[in-house]
Chain A
Amino acid sequence: MFGYALRRLLSTVPVLWIALTACFFVLRLAPGGPFDGERPLPPAVKANLAAHYNLDQPLVVQYVRYIGGVLRGDLGPSFVNQDFSVAEQIGIGLPYTLILGALAFTLAVAVGIGAGALGALYRNRLGDHVLAGVILLGLVLPNFLVAPILQLVFGLQLDWLPVGGWGGGTITHLVLPVTVLALPHVARISRLMRGAMIDVLSSDFVRTARAKGIGRAAILRRHVLKPALTPVVSYLGPAAGYLLTGSLVVETIFGLPGIGRYFINAALNRDYGMVLGTVIFYMLLIVVLNLVVDIVYAWLDPRVRGR
């Protein structure tokens, strides 16, 4: 298992490197540099700025310096927040994104699996139909539509929850953003879970077990859950990716200082270093999460391990 994990990790290094290189050069093609603003700079100052940040050197030289820096853990300076380097800013923003993502992920998995299982066990009853309806809405409503509506209802009209901001991480500040982020995944996971469980419940070996007289709870535990979870777990890998992209919108709407917001800001402001830095981190996160999911999958389904 350890060897498998290690091999997977190592195989991603060239991927990361290629993606980073592509990003680096593509970004430089973008029109508009980081120092253009409402007031153009006198050419002397512009030249100084370029020299200061090594922007006047040939692109390849800049690239080599950058990669060298990355290997040492130095992701370069940020043009937009000049008092913080890219690494420092990511260090500050990453915990917020991780906390938000982890909570949303946990919520999505717990509620999704639970709702899906209940739906399968009590299917075609009223509760199942209601659940199906809610799930549909969760699947279809975009998060940028749900968020302001929730903000309006719970934040302003009912005044139960704060409308935005991190607020030191208090629960009330996290409820809305985590819910909005998790909602589409709750929907998808419960759909997958319900479908998979129904499949398994009607399969031969479950019928055999029931015929043998084994109790319901035991059947669920031993024979149903693991195989039913398989499609769910294989969804979790891409889900991690979707959660990260969903956090772009959620962080923006709720004003949370995570790296998603940094990325958008940096892209709009041509803060090359910041863009590349956040891309690296997103890729790392996705890789790690996918790896974890793969390991869980291999544990669930031993046939996979043989590969």
Chain B
Amino acid sequence: MSGVSKGSESLQAAALESAPVRGRSLMDDARARFLANRAASGSVVVLVLLVLAAVVGPAFLPWDHETPDWSAFRSPPSSENGHYFGTDQNGRDLLARTLHGTRVSLAVAFVATLVSVVIGVLFGAIAGYVGGRLDGAMMRFVDILYALPYILFVILLMVVFGRNVYLLFAAIGLLEWLTMARIVRGQTLSIRNREYIEAARAAGLGRMQIILRHVVPNLIGPVVIYAALTVPEIVATESFLSYLGFGVQEPLTSLGTLIAEGTDVIEVLPWLLWFPGATLVLLLLSLLFIGDGLRDAFDPKEIS
């Protein structure tokens, strides 16, 4: 005699027919949240457009960023003479210069972030994983460096080693790795006792191997978020240094340099300030939204 009622039979049938259940991973959740954040997803579009314009744009322009147009010195923006953003005091096309400057600023940001990520991740992962005295010493070192007025040292480095743009990248990157190291160390501490690490240890892998093959790949999440949050800071720092005269030098130009040149003539040649200024603000805003969006996506408690 079956104890199953008629209703439960149809329920069973229905359950068997419907689609298989798919689990939702952390990444899926995060992605969904990120896309729902309109500011963040919109900013991705803006950023991609900006990067494309900066990288590819100059190829489509009739002017390059350094050749003067002797017939159009200090020209306001005009479509007649083909200078859509106007020209500067040397007759150079501002649109071309703005794109070129964006390229340089982005390059600095990219390299500097890379430097800070590489150093910070290695440093923090090693300190967190090895622990003990080494960890104590390394974190002490970080504490010490935290206390120093870094900008002053960066300026001194620029002064001493001349206007080498690669050094600028590295110097700015060196500014940012400290916090990255701290965050990574924290994450590593929580990772190191997980089962897969124990398994790797049991399998006889050396410490560095474990760190590089198992710890680091699991740090990607927080690292990406933090990196995204610091890129605007790096761009701002580079602009700041260029404004003071310690950053990018002629014939290269960056958004900071362009703004510095523009602030001097804000009344007579205002376009020299507004276009690069707006570009910088747009760049920083979109980076900010993206960084925030990433952080909110992975850590919903922060959402308002």
Other CB < 8 Å A-B pairs besides A27-B156, A286-B149, 8 of them? A19-B148, A31-B160, A144-B243, A144-B259, A195-B302, A244-B149, A282-B152, A286-B147
For B150, B159, B240, B256, which residue has the most chain A Cβ atoms within 10 angstroms?
B159
Most chain B beta-carbon neighbours within 10 Å: one of A31, A144, A241, A249:
A144
Contact of A198 with B by CB under 8 A: yes
Query: Which single residue of chain A is at the shortest CB-CB distance from B282?
Result: A140
Instruction: Give min CB distance, A146 to chain B, whole Å.
Output: 10
How many A-B residue contacts, CB cutoff 8 Å?
A: 97
- The reply on B263 being an interface residue by CB < 8 A is yes
Question: Which among A15, A31, A279 has the highest number of chain B CB atoms within 10 Å?
Answer: A15
A90, chain B: closest CB distance, angstroms: 14
Residues of A in contact with B, size category? 35 or more
- Our pick among B159, B162, B244, B266 for the contact of A148 (Cβ within 8 Å) is B266
Q: Once the chains bind, are B149 and A267 in contact (CB under 8 Å)? A: no
Contact A252 B244 (CB under 8 A): yes
* A interface list, Cβ under 8 A from B: 12, 15, 18-19, 23, 26-27, 29-31, 123-124, 136, 139-142, 144-145, 148-149, 152, 194-195, 198-199, 238, 241, 244-245, 248-249, 252, 263-264, 267-268, 275, 278-279, 282-283, 286-287, 290
A140–B144 Cα gap in the complex (Å)? 29
B155 and A267: CB pair below 8 A? Answer: yes
Q: Is A142 within 8 A of B285, CB to CB?
A: no
CB <8 Å contact, B147 and A148? no
Chain B residues with CB under 8 Å of chain A are 144, 146-153, 155-157, 159-160, 162, 232, 236, 239-240, 243-245, 256, 259-260, 263, 266-267, 273, 277, 280-281, 284-285, 288, 301-302, 304
A275 to B236, CA, bound (A): 24
Q: A140-B281, A144-B260 are in contact. Are A249 and B159 (CB under 8 A)?
A: no
Shortest beta-carbon distance from B129 to chain A in Å: 22
State in angstroms the CA–CA spacing of A136 and B236 once bound together.
14
The 3 A-B pairs at the shortest CB distance, nearest first, are namely A30-B160, A245-B151, A148-B263
Contact A279 B152 (CB under 8 A): yes
Determine the distance from Cα of A238 to Cα of B178 in the docked complex, in whole angstroms.
12
Interface of B: prevailing SS: helix
Q: Is the CB of B149 within 8 A of A279?
A: yes
**Contact residues of A: prevailing secondary structure:** helix
Q: Is the CB of B277 within 8 A of A145?
A: yes
Chain B neighbourhood of A283, CB < 8 A? 147-149
CB distance from A70 to the nearest CB of B (A): 17
Q: Are A26 and B157 CB-contacts (below 8 A) given A245-B149, A279-B149? A: yes
Residues B244 and A264 in contact, CB atoms below 8 Å apart: yes
Rounded to whole Å, the gap between the CB of A258 and the closest CB of chain B is 14
B residues in contact with A140, CB < 8 Å: 232, 281, 284-285, 288
In Å, the complex CA distance between A136 and B155 comes to 28
A26-B156, A124-B304, A267-B156 in contact; A241/B149 too (CB < 8 A)?
yes
